[in-house]
Structure 1
Amino acid sequence: MTLLLLCLALPLIARAGEPLTWLVRDLPPLTIESGPREGQGAVDRLLPLLMQALPHYDHSVVRVNRARATQMLTEPALSCDPTLLWTAERSQTVVYSIPVFATLTNGLIIRRQDRHGFNTFIHHDELDLPAVLASPNIKIGRVAERSYGSTIDNILAQAPEGAVSAHHGNDAVASLLQMQQRGRLDGVLGYWPEVLYLAPQEQIDSADLMFVPVRGVPRYQPVYIACSNTPAGRAVVDRLNPVLAGLRSTTLPVFYAQWLDAASRDDYLRDSRRFFEEMAQH
């Protein structure tokens, strides 16, 4: 009888698989947690393809903020974050996939009415961010523990105390934009497509905002999948890399490009293939 029960249970055991938790947060246009286009972000559309490529795992999706995701990636349980930038510090505690997306980089979002206050810091349409942060009269907002790319991260690390206000909440960017509208912040670091999506939901006219690129920051940056730095996490990345190599040259650029304006979309689709080719040469 015991043997019969064991045999009947075997299919259920085979189907169970190892639990794999995907850590996501509201990061339009990659992941969209609410609103009229909920679940239609570029990474939202990627996740089912990743799960399909990993059929022997028991997948779950958990929505957490950046700080909690960072913590969970260092815990023993197997978890992966599909929207992570590479940093030297993170590479010590997580295992990265090959680059998945090329996304537009971060910059400073300001209100058009405040443009005159930044004139002395903008040269050739690029912002001198260190000089801005050194100014005692300007307050900048950021999301706590979010990487803004190596150039901006290094600048932030050297910023004077009190120059930057870090927000830890789940709706951090939306909250920072509201603080900016109330005059508590002069600028918000972020992705322009993300702000364009969030502004109308916060009853903010995006035409009243402008994006200023930061000097020394390239136009595009790679986004990776990062998993727990364990044998199980490394096995997931090894299985995903061949799949991602194919998707990033065909399917994934279209997922991201749909969120850009017509001119940027054409440039992006042309540039994205060259972006990965150039990365492979370095």
Structure 2
Amino acid sequence: MPLPLAHAKDSITWMEVNMPPHFIQNGALRGQGYGDIVGELLRQRLPNYEHHRMTTNVVRHFDMFRRGDKVCAIGLYRTSERESFLHFSIPSLLVMPPALILHKGRLENLTAQKTLSLKSLLANSEFRLGISKDRSYGTTLDAVIAQYRHRSGLTVFSGQEIGENYFKMLLLDRLDGLLGLPDEAMFRAEQMGIRDQLVVLPLEENRDDYKGWQCAAVCPKNAWGQEVIARINAILVEIRPTPRYRRAYERWLDANNLPLYRRVYDEIFLATKPQ
């Protein structure tokens, strides 16, 4: 009598991008990105699925989502356009928005404020700021930058990431500040061995837009995706308060931002529940 065929597990392919420290795919810190850690925590709690990981660009991500493939991702922002083809989990990541990156020695000149207004900084023609021309900093900051795009003292560079040369310009007093994400600044500074020399200050323009701090896990907008997201939601409610989950992102913040981040995490991020 023939043996019955084993029931094959359903599968999930997790779509990732090479964007440290969200995902770190090379070097001594490989696998220690906050997306790496959150993804591993989710996969451990989804044993009924066979898991695969794929690194590709965002365009291919969205093509596969629109086709309804059995793919999911961690850490996408919710938009009305994306809601047409994606199921979103409750917030899976709390990520601080773009901020001002400074050499610690500059704090005295800025009266050691805890936050600053980008508009007031750019209105001061003597303040030398470095920004990327190839990325969005969010609608509010983009609008401020557009007002001052042609002012003197603005250093505009190409590419999505802040290169080492611009951090060196901070240290050599050739720039007063850089605009970037707090976690990417600390990752790059750690790679260069200068983490203790930098500080990151939140900007008043985006400090209270907490919705813009929150990303979600996503799967295709079909019955399969809806079921996976329901399972992910239940897991997130369980694991988001745990120390390991919190440390995954906090590890990439400087001390100046931790009190604000922890308050928003406890009061707003953890308060979100599945509907």
TM-score by length of 2: 0.70
Q: Which runs of 5+ in 2 are unaligned?
A: 150-155
Q: Measure how far apart 1:242 and its partner are.
A: 0.9
SS in 2 for 1:88: coil
Letter in 1 for 2:16: L
Q: 1:98 aligns with which of 90, 94, 114?
A: 90
Q: Measure how far apart 1:274 and its partner are.
A: 1.9
Q: 1:140·1:185 contact (CA, 8 Å) conserved in 2? A: no
Letter in 2 for 1:45: I
Q: 2:131·2:157 contact (CA, 8 Å) conserved in 1? A: yes
Give the equivalent residue in structure 2 for 1:20: 13
Give the equivalent residue in structure 2 for 1:211: 200
SS in 2 for 1:98: strand
Q: Measure how far apart 1:65 and its partner are.
A: 3.9
Aligned residues: 257
The separation in 1 between residues aligned to 2:120 and 2:67, in whole angstroms, is 35
Q: Measure how far apart 1:225 and its partner are.
A: 0.8
* Alignment of 1:50 onto 2:50: no
Q: Measure how far apart 1:263 and its partner are.
A: 6.7
Give the equivalent residue in structure 2 for 1:196: 186
CA 72–27 in structure 1, closer or farther in 2 if over 3 Å, else same: farther
Q: 1:173 aligns with which of 161, 165, 168?
A: 161
Give the equivalent residue in structure 2 for 1:140: 131
How high is the sequence identity, in percent, across the aligned residues?
Answer: 24
* Alignment of 1:108 onto 2:108: no
SS in 2 for 1:245: helix
Q: Spell out the pairing of 1:1-282 with structure 2 (5 A cutoff).
A: 4=2, 7=3, 10-11=5-6, 14-28=7-21, 30-109=22-101, 125-129=115-119, 132=122, 140-141=131-132, 144=135, 152-156=138-142, 160=146, 163=149, 167=159, 172-175=160-163, 177-178=164-165, 188-201=178-191, 203=192, 205-206=194-195, 209-218=198-207, 221-251=213-243, 252-261=245-254, 265=258, 268-269=261-262, 271-276=264-269, 278-279=271-272
Higher mean C-alpha displacement, 258-267 vs 208-217: 258-267
CA 217–263 in structure 1, closer or farther in 2 if over 3 Å, else same: closer
The separation in 2 between residues aligned to 1:266 and 1:160, in whole angstroms, is 31
Letter in 2 for 1:195: A
Q: Measure how far apart 1:230 and its partner are.
A: 2.5
Q: Measure how far apart 1:159 and its partner are.
A: 5.8
User: Which one has the bigger helix percentage?
Assistant: 1
Q: Which runs of 5+ in 1 are unaligned?
A: none
CA 108–73 in structure 1, closer or farther in 2 if over 3 Å, else same: farther
Give the equivalent residue in structure 1 for 2:152: none
Q: Measure how far apart 1:141 and its partner are.
A: 0.9
The separation in 1 between residues aligned to 2:67 and 2:143, in whole angstroms, is 26
Q: Deviations over 1:136-188 (max 9, x none)?
A: x96621665x7x5xxx2344378649957663xxxx4254x546757999865
Letter in 2 for 1:229: K
The separation in 1 between residues aligned to 2:166 and 2:254, in whole angstroms, is 27
Q: Measure how far apart 1:241 and its partner are.
A: 0.6
Q: Measure how far apart 1:271 and its partner are.
A: 4.8
Q: 1:109·1:188 contact (CA, 8 Å) conserved in 2? A: yes
